[in-house]
């Protein structure tokens, strides 16, 4: 019988092979951050570079989780798009605004997700030219399985009260940055172009 996504995620968490190498990678990441702080190279640009690298590494980790879950018909970036949709019934425009996707990328990704059975796309009852999208049961099950598999990753990072507090503080700072950047973009912060670059 075919395993459900959730069963496969629980088995993957129980088997959790290569824990020592995962711990080593985390320790390397902590050491790298400690070296940057010690050099006083902590600046905005370095933070952005770390965020970008972390996101790419997370997508690599998610790719492994998707394979373990038996979801080989979806890419990691498409899986993240499922989380952007969530439990809502959205227009494509809403999805683009919520996830900061480009129109052509969103359309291509949605087409793939509809063909794979993760997303249902229907014409809007008010405007037949506009499409409404929502997760199918298959899409919801995959999101639940990814969350279950991701608990293992969280357990590697958050081991005690001190780790939990540091994790919460990091999330607060990243959310503040997100709001700052979004506000700055909307207001254009009165910057004038002074250079060609």
Domain definitions of the chain by residue range:
1-72+149-184, 75-135
Which pTM value belongs to this model? 0.70
CATH class assigned to 75-135: mainly alpha
Q: What is the mean pLDDT of residues 35-47?
A: 68
Q: What is the mean pLDDT of residues 156-162?
A: 90
Q: What is the mean pLDDT of residues 159-169?
A: 92
Amino acid 19: pLDDT: 44
User: How does pLDDT run across 77-116, given as a tens digit for each residue?
Assistant: 999 999 999 999 988 888 888 776 776 788 888 999 999 9
Encoded tokens for 133: 């999208």
Neighbour order of strands in the sheet with 119-123: 90-91, 131-135, 119-123
Pairing of strands 131-135, 119-123: antiparallel
């Amino acid at each position: 019988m075919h395993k459900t996504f959730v069963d496969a995620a629980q088995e993957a968490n129980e088997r959790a092979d290569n824990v020592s190498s995962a711990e080593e990678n985390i320790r390397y990441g902590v050491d790298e951050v400690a070296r940057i702080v010690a050099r006083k190279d902590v600046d905005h640009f370095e933070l952005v570079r770390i965020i970008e690298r972390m996101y790419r590494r997370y997508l690599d980790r998610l790719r492994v989780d998707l394979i373990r879950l038996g979801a080989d018909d979806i890419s990691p970036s498409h899986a993240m798009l499922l989380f952007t949709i969530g439990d809502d019934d959205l227009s494509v425009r809403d999805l683009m605004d919520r996830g900061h996707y480009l129109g052509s990328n969103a359309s291509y990704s949605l087409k793939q997700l509809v063909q794979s059975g993760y997303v249902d796309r229907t014409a809007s009852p008010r405007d037949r030219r506009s499409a409404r999208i929502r997760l199918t049961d298959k899409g919801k099950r995959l999101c639940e399985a990814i969350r279950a598999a991701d608990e293992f990753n969280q357990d590697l990072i958050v081991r005690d009260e001190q780790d939990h507090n540091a994790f919460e503080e990091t999330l607060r700072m990243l959310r503040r940055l997100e709001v700052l950047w979004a506000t700055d973009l909307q207001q254009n912060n009165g910057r004038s172009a002074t250079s060609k670059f």
